[in-house]
Amino acid sequence: MNGVFFISYNDESYVDELKKLMDGCFDSSEIFIPIGSSKNSIMSYEEFLNSLDDIKSVEFKIIDKFNDFKSKSIIVVGDKRLGSFNAKIANNLDIPVIFSSNEYKIPKIDLEREGVKLLGKIDKKDLLFAKSGKNIALTALNVKPEILADEMKSFTYTITTPVKFEYDLYKRARSIKKTVVLPEGDDERILRAADILLKKDALNLIILGDENDIKNKALNLGLNLTNAKFINPLNSPLSKDFTNRLYNLRKDKGVTLEKASELIKDKNYFATMLILLNMADGVVSGAVGTTADTIRPALQIIKTQDGVSSVSGAFIMCLKDRVYLFSDCAIMPEPTASNLAEVATLTANMAKSFNIDPKVAMLSFATGESGCGQSVDKVKEATNLAKTILQDRVDGPLQFDAAVDMVVAQKKLPNSKVAGNANVFVFPDLNSANICYKAVQRTTNAIAIGPILQGLKKPVNDLSRGCLVEDIVNTVLITAIQANKG
């Protein structure tokens, strides 16, 4: 389906003109006015104003409605009163913007700041367009309708907004309906996240802890956890069987039956046994405990995938208009070249599982052959190892600017298919990775989801102790999707 976001605030005849042009390009086209009084609007402007406290739900509804259209082309019409929300709609739907000629200059400034992609401008006599990438420079040209069609079909720069990414997570999670365990049922953020997920009917939840205590706390918070399942590891009928199984798994490592019984009372060990025995599909923990508390049971019980030497942790970084993956930001302080190559492959596979076409940059302080030394040589070796699997989907060594900026990339590594287009970034060590993800998160207001653990046979994911409810929700959704890979 092709779409275009049209801004014409003062003259509805421009919409009719564009529809004629679109009908000439495609078999049929439809007009969608998200906020307004038309028959396919999702709400009126007055209702929109009353929904500002839950603006994400409005954005989800617009995406839903857009996806419901069966036509080959959609003209989405903005509203002058919506201001910068017009840009959010265009970016969430991943469609270019066209202006009416008399409205061209004023909104162009605001929309460029929001990172929208511009197709051009239209008037009643001619269609004027301009292709653009991340750095927008417009040159107007007269074109015929068939050329418009070609331009729309070839307009491949893809925007993934945080809202669209989260929308897709919900959609995929609902389609597979996995069961995720939340061991930290005494934490308010966990309960609030559970309430959101259950309201959205996105998956099944098992919450560990005393059922009466949790339900009373939820009631006081105004939350509804009716559809959750509760298990208390301290008195569960499952504990005896779990103890025996853990003992048999770990007795060669010196674990006694008494020690196994003690470990099973630990919520993270209990949760890990649930997924080992296929009573659940994934675990999300770490809002209260440490990373070691979450990962240790997984490494001892679930273990790594066949052929994987080490677990690593990736962050999904949701910026204003795109999604990046950073790795390894959590586990290996000093990875070897072999480790880095494995991280590149695992993170590329994770990107694919979230419908992101991976272009992997192996990061360094040098690009190509411009530097030398032990650290650069390690990245070069890692890149060569990774290329045996990822081929031209990986390149390095690359400095960050050469990885994301096409102008810099053309000067430093002009023949690379990754340079200037990277969306997966493998850092040379834990220092640089951890510093970078936090710097990006705090200075750009990016949403950082993770660390998402890679390399385990079943998904167990860690939370930061400073995590927000939104972080927990997204991590649980991702865990459910990871569980579907097997």
Residues 325 and 292 reside in one and the same domain: no
Residues 190-236: tens digit of each pLDDT:
999 999 999 999 999 999 999 999 999 999 999 999 999 999 999 99
Dihedral angle of Cα 35, 41, 42, 46, to the nearest 10 degrees:
40
Please state, in angstroms and as integers, the Cα–Cα distance from residue 55 to each residue in 16, 50, 69, 414, following that order: 30, 10, 22, 42
User: CATH no. for residue 237?
Assistant: 3.40.50.10950
Residues 178 and 297 reside in one and the same domain: yes
Of 301, 319, 341, the residue at which a domain comes to its end is: 301
Residues 184-202 as b or e (16 or more Cβ within 10 Å = b) = bbbbebbbbbbbebbeeeb
Residues 192 and 82 reside in one and the same domain: no
Least confident span in 35-39, 230-234, 323-327? 35-39
Residues 281-318: tens digit of each pLDDT:
999 999 998 888 999 999 999 999 988 999 999 999 98
The H or E element that residue 434 is part of is: helix 430-444
Residues 329 and 389 reside in one and the same domain: yes
Residues 107-145: tens digit of each pLDDT:
554 555 555 555 544 443 333 343 333 332 223 334 455
Number of separate domains in the chain: 3
Packed helices 469-483 and 188-199: angle between N→C axes, nearest 10 degrees = 60
Residues 202 and 123 reside in one and the same domain: no
476 in a structural domain: no
- Rounded distance between C-alpha atoms, residue 403 and residue 370, angstroms: 15
Least confident span in 20-29, 44-53, 343-352, 460-469? 20-29
Strand, coil or helix: 223? coil
Selected residue with higher pLDDT from 431 and 149: 431
Domain that includes residue 254, residue range: 173-301
Kindly indicate the confidence band of residue 175, based on its pLDDT and cuts at 50, 70 and 90: very high
Selected residue with higher pLDDT from 441 and 102: 441
- Rounded distance between C-alpha atoms, residue 433 and residue 430, angstroms: 5
Residues 246 and 183 reside in one and the same domain: yes
pLDDT exceeding 70 applies to what percent of the chain? Answer: 81
Q: What is the per-residue pLDDT for 152?
A: 60
